[in-house]
Structure formats: C-alpha cells, structure tokens
Amino acid sequence: MKGRKWISAAAIALCTAVTALQLGWMLTSGNGFAAPQSVRTGHLDISQYLQDGLADALGGVLSAKKVYRLSDQDLVAPKPDPACYGSAEDPAQLQWLLDAGAELLEGQETLFSTDTPIQEGSTVRYYLDETIFAVTWKQPLGSSMYTFSEVKIAHPSQLRRFLSDGKYSSGTLYTTTEMAQSVNAVVASSGDYYDYREIGIVVTDGQVHRSRGELLDTCFVDESGDLVFTYAGQITGQEEVQAFVDKHRVRFSLCFGPVMILNGDLCSPKQYNSGEVHSEYARSALCQMGKLHYLVVIANTEEPCYSMPTLSQFARQLWDLGIPTAYALDGGQTAAIAMDGKLVNNVSYGSQRRISDIVYFATAVPERS
C-alpha cells in the first residue's frame, strides 16, 4: 500500500513538473522571460531542454539524467575539475578507469586496454567526469612512436574547433598548448593550419568562410558529432558548399587530408596535393571510433623509435589497429597533442610550431561557483 502511495505521489509530481515545463516553454516563446541562448539560436533539441528541466524539477523524486551541452557561441569551455585528472605508470592499474567510464562509453570498446604496450618509462594520463572520458598514452608501432588520445564525450558540442583569437583569419598564431589552455581543453590536437594556405573549405558554426574544395579532401563535423567527408573536387564554390553544410547540418570543417580510412576500408590515395605523402614525416590524424568516440593520433620519432612514416604507412598502421575512420591533419612540426594544456608528444625540430587553429574536447560540466 505504501508503495502505491509513493508511485501516486511520484506520478503527481511528474505531471506537475511536465505541466510547469510546458507553461515555461510557452512563456519563452512569447513576451515573457527569454529562452536560453541555445534555444533562441535554434541549436537546441527541445526534447533535451524538457529532459533537463524535468531533471531539475523532480530533483530526488525520480531519476532523470541531465544532458549537459555547450554553445558554439561560447569560445571558452568550462574549466575541467583538477581532481578528475590522473596518471599511471602501468595500464594494468587502470581497469578501474574503464569500469568507471563504462556508462559514458555506452558499451563501446576502447582501443586503450590494460594490456596496451606503452612506451617504456612513460605514463598514461587520463581525465574522467560524467561528460568526458579521455586517456592518453605513447606506444611504439613499427619504427615510429605513436601518441594516442582516446576520447568519449556525452554530447556532440564537446568536440570543438578554436581559431586563433576566436575569429576567422585573425592573422595571429599560437602554439597548440597556448590555445588549449585559453579554451580550457581537456584534450587538444593541432588542426589543419588553415591560415597557412588559401585553398580548402573552412566552415565555423555553420558559416562558410572559404569554399575552395578543388584540391583537398574535407572533414566536416555535423551536429551529431559524426565525421562527414567530401573528396577533392566533389564540392566547390560558395553556393555548393553552403548547400552541403545546410543539408548535413555541419558545425565546422577541417581541410587538410586525405581521408585515409572510411567505414573500415583503407582508402589512402597514392598521390595527394598536401602533406608530403611519400616522405618520412611526422603525421597527425583525427579518427572516429564510434558514436561520440574519437581518437587523435600523432606518429613521430622518440627513443627507441627513430623513423617517421609515409602517409600510406601511417594509414595502414591505423587500419591494422582496427580504426574504422581516419582523416589526416597537418603534420610535421605542426603535429601536437596537449592534455590539461601540457604537450604530450615529441614534436619535430624540438618546439611547437605556431599555428592558426586546434581541434579540442571539453568537459560540459558547469564550473562550480
């Protein structure tokens, strides 16, 4: 009998909360108080808005998981919690991390495991909160040293791109670590260094800044957080690129390439218009492992590995690891990964190149006041 009374009370609370939310939604669309910025700009899934409001309204009455998300209009992400960072000298010590991140991983397998053969004397670094799982390590593969950062996020808005000074073609260059620190990145990777060249497709926040897609493959990131590709010459010109962006609900683009792996198939071309494909060169890539599950990778030299791969060698090594989707970013001295604002990998010529942009992953948990 008591159980029935509790269920009835919960049902009443639920109905009251939903009614309140519906009234609130009507007010936000009328002349009452303003809706959140993400609602006004059309970037919010209304069902998520209602779910978040329901979670707040019900509190401890019923369990409703809150969905955190970020706005692309906010250049700086929330500060990560320092207590959520950590490190270990042996991957075998991190089974607890995989267990703790299981809900966020949603059943997806990770490339990282407790058996991963990391570089001797190196450490595995990690970050975990309710919105982001990130683990970074170094691993010898062939005759090169690979640096991996594997990330699973809760919401697509946590995969982000930052242009130097927060605007297109600012003309100012910074290192990857400088930009990572400025936006509170949990993990950041050097981007495509778009401002070094006049070719390519550049999109930020759904706006097309450059539409010269004749020579390079383009990686688009859509509102679901998926990587969507076009090949060199497939779309060109402002109208055609904008139509593609609108159709696929693109948030931003990266333009270097090529596409190396797609849907599990190795597709790295023998010839390409950028990246010195046949030279031994430091390589960088953005990969998608599954839903909201990514990998940033750099191959370079570091003791005891003294060779750098050609593009085809790099692509095959990633393919051999079972990575289903991989896109090449700017390599050489540009190639850098930062975690907690600190450089992780060895970089060519001993210092980071100052560049125009980064790709990064952020926590969506609001900062505590």
* Domain locations along the chain: 2-58, 124-361
Q: Percent of the chain at pLDDT above 70?
A: 82
pLDDT of residue 275: 87
| Mean pLDDT on 7-19 | 44
* Phi, psi of 359, deg, nearest 5: -110, 135
Higher pLDDT, 331 or 23: 331
* Residue 113 or residue 4, greater confidence: 113
Placement of tokens 């053969």 in the chain? 117
Size of the chain in residues: 369
Confidence bin at 368 (pLDDT 50/70/90): confident
199 pLDDT more than 50: yes
In this structure, which amino acid lies at residue 277? V
Q: Give residue 223's pLDDT.
A: 97
Average the pLDDT over 43-64 and give the result.
Answer: 49
pLDDT-based confidence at residue 8 (cuts at 50, 70, 90)? very low
- Average pLDDT score over residue span 162-181: 97
Q: Sign (positive/negative) of CA torsion 218, 222, 225, 230?
A: negative
What integer pLDDT is reported at residue 64 of this predicted model?
59
Distance between CA atoms of residues 117 and 140, nearest Å: 8
Q: Tell me the torsion sign for CA atoms 199, 201, 205, 209.
A: positive
Tell me the average pLDDT of the chain. Answer: 87
From residue 63, give the alpha-carbon distance in Å to each of 14, 52, 54, 316: 11, 11, 10, 46
Q: Which of 180, 240, 183 is nearest to 211 (CA)?
A: 240
User: Which residue's structure tokens are 């010195």?
Assistant: 276
- Higher pLDDT among residues 173 and 42, named by residue: 173
CA distance 286 to 296: 5
More confident: 15 or 174: 174
Confidence bin at 67 (pLDDT 50/70/90): confident
Least confident of 42-46, 101-105, 118-122, 222-226: 42-46
* Inter-CA distances, 64 with 39, 53, 155, 180, Å: 21, 10, 16, 33
Write the single-letter amino acid at 179: M
Amino acid type, 117: P
Cα separation, 23 vs 32, in Å, equals 11
**Predicted pLDDT of residue 66:** 80
Residue 369 has pLDDT above 50, yes or no: yes
Q: For residue range 286-315, what is the model confidence (pLDDT) as tens digits?
A: 999 999 999 999 999 999 999 999 999 999
Q: Which pLDDT score, from 0 to 100, does residue 95 have?
A: 98
Q: How high is the pLDDT of residue 196?
A: 94
In terms of pLDDT, which residue wins out, 313 or 37?
A: 313
pLDDT(336) > 80: yes
Please report, as a single letter, which amino acid is at residue 325: T
Q: What would the 3-class secondary structure string for the chain be?
A: CHHHHHHHHHHHHHHHHHHHHHHHHHHHHCCCCCCCHHHHCCCCCHHHHHHHHHHHHHCCCCCCCCCCCCCCCCCCCCCCCHHHEEEECCHHHHHHHHHHCHHHHCCCCCCCCCCCCCCCCCCEEEEEECCEEEEEEEEEECCEEEEEEEEEECCHHHEEEEEHHHCCCCCCCECHHHHHHHHCCCEEEECCCHHHCCCEEEEECCEEEEEECCCCCEEEEECCCCEEEECCCCCCCHHHHHHHHHHCCEEEEEECCCEEEECCEECCCCCCCCCCCCCCCCEEEEEEEECCEEEEEEEECECCECCCCCHHHHHHHHHHCCCCEEEEECCHHHCCEEECCEECCCCHHHCCCCECEEEEECCCCCCCC
Mean local confidence (pLDDT), 246-253 = 98
Q: pLDDT value at position 330? A: 97
342-343 vs 337-339, strand pairing mode: antiparallel
Percentage of the chain modeled with pLDDT above 90: 80
Looking at residue 53, its pLDDT comes to 53
